Amino acid sequence: MIPAKKLSIPCDSEERLHYIKRQFPAAEGSDLRHEWAGGRLNGLKKLNSIDAAAYNRNRNFINGSVTHLSPYLRHGCITLNESFASVKNRFGMEAEKLLFEFAWRDFWRQVWFAEGHAIYSEMEPPKVAIAYAPLNDFVTQGNTGLPCMDGFIHELINTGYMHNHARMWFASYVVHHLKIDWRAAADWFEAHLLDGDSASNHLSWQWVASTFSSKPYFFNKENLGRFTGEKYCASCTAACPFNASYEQLNERLFKPILAPIAKQYSVTPLTKRAVSGIPAIAVFIHDEMLSAAHILLTKPFPKIFVFDPQIHGAWSLNRLQFVADCLSEMEDVEVWLGDTYEVLMARGVGQVITQETPNCKIKELLMPFSPKWEPVAKFANVEISPQRLKRFSRYWEKVGPLVLGDDNYRKP
């Protein structure tokens, strides 16, 4: 274990990039791009520049008018509720598709709250033959020989972003063509995404794999060519594994059917440690509450954030730089690098106040410090039964009319 040390995040953005690079010499990937700078101010700028009508028309196209809000939502720089309200007020039902996509984010999070660590294992038996080959270097380095897939991987590594449609194609290629273990791929993918979030990520991989959906997701060349504007296909000379009809692909990829058993993956439990008799209270800032406007920043206690290898150890360089940007906007937050328990003990903390989270790793880390979990405003103010959390369509039947209004709600 490395000894804990206090960091001093520079105010200047260029200096900050270099500083984080020096503090995390083992972090993989590229520097954070200017257009992805972290923090609430940049999140608000992105929110205010949304073109919801264009989004409605072209979000599935790789060069469509998507919002790039996800890293800001993921880290709590802006909240889902304020984003939803802002878009609904400005665009009304012209923004129907975007409002609907916001709900997907809430749905995955609700499932994580309800299921905890179980989201890292197969939620249901697969509906088709999937397999569990190890994740290869040729995938993680973008050397598959397919210009489309290599292009998506390089974009991920260089920018920390991948369009939703590309994520679906890539995950489908990895799981159904290469027969790679979805869980290994999902872990690697999440570590490189600026918006890396276990709920949206692991559950989307399961949706593609068919372990949290009624059928697998797969696509053909025509679909990829159409939504990429032939960007990769036009000059591609590779033997295209997607150049077939859906019937042919179904036959090729999924026969024979596997015995339907849901695979369980283990999650390494964190070491259990105890604290007693220390009265001091601190606000613990975790990586889902990185907003300069966060209400807990007004509490009269020390505010502490820890880059903890148990949580952030696999994160790419630009993810860590994004977090540092967010922290640089937040006044009076002590930033540490090391083991959370060691840091809080060294600071004489006996109890923490923090924002509630479905992230079980954070919960385990804070367990010894009698955490007081401050609730986050709900997306729709309603209890959602476990049955409704089995499929998005059932969740949306309940939530859609509440957040859109009965008159605006349409069954998807």
Ligand X SMILES: Cc1cc2nc3c(=O)[nH]c(=O)nc-3n(C[C@H](O)[C@H](O)[C@H](O)COP(=O)(O)OP(=O)(O)OC[C@H]3O[C@@H](n4cnc5c(N)ncnc54)[C@H](O)[C@@H]3O)c2cc1C
Binder to ligand X among 150, 195, 329, 339 (CB under 6 A)?
195
Min dist. Cβ of residue 269 to ligand X (A): 23
Identify whether the C-beta of residue 7 lies closer than 8 Å to the C-beta of residue 16.
no
395, 397, 399, 404 alpha-carbon torsion, rounded to 10°: 140
> Please, which of residues 154-193 interact with ligand X by CB under 6 A?
164, 167-168, 171, 190, 193
- Closer to ligand X at the Cβ: 18 or 90? 90
- Closer to ligand X at the Cβ: 171 or 327? 171
Min dist. Cβ of residue 375 to ligand X (A): 20
Min dist. Cβ of residue 304 to ligand X (A): 26
Angle at 187 (CA atoms; ends 119, 221), nearest 5 degrees? 100
Min dist. Cβ of residue 74 to ligand X (A): 5
Binding map of ligand X across residues 91-130, x = CB under 6 A, - = no contact: ----------xx-xx--x----------------------
What string of H, E and C letters represents the secondary structure of the chain?
CCCCEEECCCCCHHHHHHHHHHHCCCCCCCCCCHHHCCCHHHHHHHHHCCCHHHHHHHCCCCCCCCCCCHHHHHCCCCCHHHHHHHHHHHHHHHHHHHHHHHHHHHHHHHHHHHHHHHHHCCCCCCCCCCCCECCCHHHHCCCCCCHHHHHHHHHHHHHCCCCHHHHHHHHHHHHHHCCECHHHHHHHHHHHCCCCCHHHHHHHHHHHHCCCCCCCCCCCHHHHHHHCCCCCCCCCCCCCCCCCCHHHHHHHHHCCCCCCCCCCCCCCCCCCCCCCCCCEEEEEECCCCCCCCCHHHHCCCCEEEEECHHHHCCCCHHHHHHHHHHHHCCCCEEEEECCHHHHHHHCCEEEEEEECCCCHHHHHHHHHHCCEEECCCCCCCCCCCHHHHHCHHHHHHHHHHHHHCCCCCCCC
Binder to ligand X among 79, 201, 228, 354 (CB under 6 A)?
201
By CB under 6 A, tell whether 361 contacts ligand X: no
**How many whole angstroms separate alpha carbon 406 and alpha carbon 397?**
11
- Closer to ligand X at the Cβ: 86 or 164? 164
Binding map of ligand X across residues 214-233, x = CB under 6 A, - = no contact: --------------------
Binding map of ligand X across residues 35-74, x = CB under 6 A, - = no contact: ------------------------x------xxxxx--xx
Min dist. Cβ of residue 112 to ligand X (A): 12
Min dist. Cβ of residue 2 to ligand X (A): 27
Identify whether the C-beta of residue 340 lies closer than 8 Å to the C-beta of residue 89.
no
The site for ligand X, by CB under 6 A, has a size of 27
Binder to ligand X among 187, 197, 308, 339 (CB under 6 A)?
197
Min dist. Cβ of residue 367 to ligand X (A): 25
- Closer to ligand X at the Cβ: 69 or 135? 69
By CB under 6 A, tell whether 200 contacts ligand X: yes
Diameter of the chain measured on Cα atoms: 68
- Closer to ligand X at the Cβ: 59 or 183? 59
Min dist. Cβ of residue 297 to ligand X (A): 23
- Closer to ligand X at the Cβ: 108 or 369? 108
Min dist. Cβ of residue 44 to ligand X (A): 14
**Residue 292 CB neighbour total at 10 angstroms:** 16
Min dist. Cβ of residue 259 to ligand X (A): 25
- Closer to ligand X at the Cβ: 351 or 357? 357
- Closer to ligand X at the Cβ: 59 or 303? 59
- Closer to ligand X at the Cβ: 102 or 369? 102
By CB under 6 A, tell whether 392 contacts ligand X: no
- List residues binding ligand X (CB under 6 A): 59, 66-70, 73-74, 101-102, 104-105, 108, 164, 167-168, 171, 190, 193, 195-197, 200-201, 204-205, 208
